[in-house]
Amino acid sequence: MYALEYISVMGLGLLVGRKFGFKPPSIAFTAVVIAVIFAASAESARTIADNAGYLLALSILYALIVSAASALPFIFASRKGGAAAAPIPKISAMAASALVAGVAVGYFVQAPYGSAIEPILFALLFLAGADIGRLRGLRLEPRLVAVPLASLASSLSAGLIIYFWLGVSPAVAVGMGWYSFTGPFLLSASGNAALGALGFLANFFREQLTFLLTPLISGLVPPESALAIGGATTMDNTLPLYRSVYGSEAVVPAVVNGVLLTFLVPLLVPLVYQLFP
């Protein structure tokens, strides 16, 4: 049910973006992301505060395992390296700040923060769909589609291993770096504050690992491996990084990778959660 609703809202945004060429203002996107992270973290404040060390350690470990699994299928492909790095975008710092602020406020001020999560998620998905809809000329060629599908399958496989090891739903893994959707959805759907926090933090750290690892491994692994680590973020937050490290020829594969995963995440996260709660 969740998946159908989310895809419908995202599809509506895509139609609006396609028909009217509507590009969501960056300030609107930022505001929605901050709002949903703040609401989810405020709702989970006591759980996050009381288990901060455990959640941080588990999230970092989870992000490392899933990132490595995503990159693995492409390790033996042809290699082409780079050296430069790109700055971490402001949205990452804002997301971290919204998390801290939400925990601080939610810990001391009791309010029904959770009731705001789903409406804000709908707004987030609509804007994401509109942003994709305005893009023109993207072709889902087989060689470009192979990267997101293989990295998604590898992430799910790693998530299943963690599920049978630690009991954490593999829905966290198929968030593919989209922390502002995955964490709030898992909190809203499960009512489990720890799972919601893990869904946010593990995918947030996956994005940060992309910024850290890509320049370091660019001379050792093919671009497809680095692209797989970035997941859904490669169409926006981490796109300047790939452009800087691998050159302009990396832009189209990065955008296609991110666009396809951005569409699949709202479908797969709810489905995987229903199968493996």
Residue positions counted in the chain = 277
Q: Domain count for the chain, please give it.
A: 1
Virtual CA dihedral for 98, 101, 103, 105, nearest 10 degrees? -130
User: Is residue 22 very low, low, confident or very high in pLDDT (cuts 50, 70, 90)?
Assistant: confident
The parent domain of residue 180 ranges over 2-275
User: Is residue 250 very low, low, confident or very high in pLDDT (cuts 50, 70, 90)?
Assistant: confident
Give residue-wise pLDDT tens across range 100-156.
Answer: 999 999 999 999 999 999 999 999 989 888 888 777 666 767 778 888 999 999 999
* CA–CA gap between residue 74 and residue 148 (Å, rounded): 11
**Of 72, 103, 92, 102, nearest in space to 229 by CA:** 72
User: Is residue 78 very low, low, confident or very high in pLDDT (cuts 50, 70, 90)?
Assistant: low
Residue with tokens 């994401």: 128
pLDDT score at 218: 78
User: Is residue 205 very low, low, confident or very high in pLDDT (cuts 50, 70, 90)?
Assistant: very high
pLDDT score at 1: 61
Q: In this model, does residue 82 exceed pLDDT 80?
A: no
Q: At what angle do helices 239-246 and 223-230 cross, to 10 degrees?
A: 170
**Of 91, 98, 124, nearest in space to 208 by CA:** 91
Please work out, in degrees rounded to the nearest 5, the angle formed at the alpha carbon of residue 34 by the alpha carbons of 268 and 237: 65
pTM of the full predicted structure? 0.90
User: Is residue 85 very low, low, confident or very high in pLDDT (cuts 50, 70, 90)?
Assistant: low
Q: Picking from 171-175, 247-251, 270-274, which range would have the lowest pLDDT averaged per residue?
A: 247-251
Q: In this model, does residue 11 exceed pLDDT 70?
A: yes
Answer for the pair 44, 193: CB distance below 8 angstroms, yes or no.
Answer: yes
pLDDT score at 75: 78
Answer for the pair 102, 201: CB distance below 8 angstroms, yes or no.
Answer: no
- What is the chain's mean pLDDT, rounded? 87
User: Is residue 177 very low, low, confident or very high in pLDDT (cuts 50, 70, 90)?
Assistant: very high
